[in-house]
């Protein structure tokens, strides 16, 4: 296939790793925990269990033992736990990603950091400079608030940067500790679904400019952002004294059906491509209804999102890290052939979408 843009001038992805905290609970254990926590408050515990089972998650990793969520009863306690775990997970993720790319921390010119599940100033990327031994002239771009979108947006912004600095190395780090945002007092359906869907984890990607790219590295050919006006109510946080209260509208699958096909087709057509020419689909693990909406609106062939479904089942939705988990598994599989086009996409608060066109 001929590339729609100059492939040799495009930045490349050299490695993507997924990193998980040490604690793991099956969905049954989560269900038992939440039943106990809400036994005297929620009028229909069978409904709680039904909602948790319908999200197609078999278990999730978490940054603290499940029982410790009871003692983390203030925003400050949960946020302090977020900072401690985010630094530890972030260090592991970046070291592993650099080692996989045969690079060292001193090679890093720019670090991009994305999250939505905790607050820190200095930001987590700054706290990692000494831990990792990054250079004193390293550039840092912390990005907060994009939610599930941020894994894709972070890759796009890192690639944008490397087009201007083709001899440099950029690292994208995503850390999301969703379980720590648990709101025991919130009995809304949105919070009950979120407590069954979202998990903890981190991912790191190493990208290099065209001058450092290898012949087998997948290239980031281009990207596109789509903002849907007047949809701020669809997803986000209501931040209060107790921390992050989830806003999660049942309209999300409808937003996919209304916008995503048009976005993808318009994006591809700008570069002389059609959906039938895309061999690899890397979409974030938004939940069963969102994935079904992706499949139907894009008319994807059977199995096109098998890695996304599998990641959802094994880890839950890890917000911004989710799409990076799926990309990591695709790279590890070796299934992408030379010349394959791939579309990487995610949606998140705004409400909006981010798309990247990849080529192997």
What positions carry a catalytic annotation?
Answer: 148
317 near 331, Cβ under 8 Å?
Answer: no
Q: How far apart are CA 97 and CA 88, in angstroms?
A: 14
Neighbours of 344 (CB within 10 A): 27
Closest CA to 356 of 262, 223, 190, 201: 223
Cβ atoms < 10 Å from Cβ of 130: 8
Helix (H) or strand (E) holding 264: helix 261-269
Q: How far is CA 262 from CA 146, 231, 257, 275, in A?
A: 21, 17, 9, 11
Separation between Cα atoms, residue 181 and residue 84, nearest integer Å: 15
Q: DSSP label at 178?
A: G
Dihedral over Cα of 207, 213, 214, 219: its sign: positive
Q: Is the dihedral of CA 63, 203, 283, 336 positive or negative?
A: negative
Percent of the chain as helix, strand, coil, to the nearest 5: 45, 25, 30
Q: Are strands 12-19 and 200-208 parallel, antiparallel or unpaired?
A: antiparallel
At 352, is the secondary structure helix, strand, or coil?
A: strand
Dist. CA 349–CA 177, nearest whole Å? 17
Separation of alpha carbons 65 and 309, rounded Å: 26
Type and span of the H or E element at 114: strand 110-115
């Amino acid at each position: 296939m001929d590339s729609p843009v100059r492939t040799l001038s495009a930045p490349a992805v050299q490695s993507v790793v997924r990193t998980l905290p040490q604690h793991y609970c099956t969905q049954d254990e989560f269900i038992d925990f939440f039943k106990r926590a809400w036994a005297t408050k929620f009028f229909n515990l069978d409904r709680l269990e039904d909602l948790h089972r319908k999200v197609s998650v078999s278990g999730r990793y978490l940054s603290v033992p499940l029982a410790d969520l009871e003692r983390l009863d203030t925003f400050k306690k949960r946020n302090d736990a977020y900072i401690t775990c985010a630094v530890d997970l972030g260090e592991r993720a970046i070291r592993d990603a650099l080692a996989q790319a045969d690079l060292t921390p001193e090679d890093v010119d720019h670090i991009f950091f994305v999250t939505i599940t905790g607050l820190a100033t200095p930001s987590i990327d700054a706290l990692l400079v000494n831990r990792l031994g990054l250079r004193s002239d390293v550039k840092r771009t912390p990005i907060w608030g994009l939610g599930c979108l941020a894994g894709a947006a972070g890759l796009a912004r890192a690639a944008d940067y490397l087009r201007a600095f083709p001899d440099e190395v950029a690292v994208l780090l995503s850390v999301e500790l969703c379980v720590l945002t648990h709101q025991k007092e919130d009995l809304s359906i949105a919070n009950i679904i979120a407590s069954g869907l979202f998990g903890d984890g981190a991912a790191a990607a190493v990208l290099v400019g065209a001058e450092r790219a290898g012949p087998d590295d997948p290239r980031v050919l281009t990207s596109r952002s789509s903002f849907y006006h007047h949809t701020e109510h669809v997803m986000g946080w209501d931040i209060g004294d107790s921390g992050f209260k989830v806003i999660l509208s049942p309209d999300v699958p409808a937003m996919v059906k209304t916008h995503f096909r048009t976005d993808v087709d318009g994006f591809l057509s700008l570069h002389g491509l059609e959906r039938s020419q895309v061999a690899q689909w890397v979409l974030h693990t938004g939940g069963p209804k969102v994935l079904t909406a992706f499949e139907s609106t894009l008319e994807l062939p059977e199995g096109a999102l098998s890695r996304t479904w599998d990641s959802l089942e094994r880890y839950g939705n890890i917000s911004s890290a989710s799409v990076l988990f799926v990309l990591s598994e695709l790279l590890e599989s070796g299934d992408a052939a030379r010349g394959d086009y791939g579309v990487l996409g995610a949606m998140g608060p705004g409400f909006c979408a981010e798309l990247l066109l990849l080529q192997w």
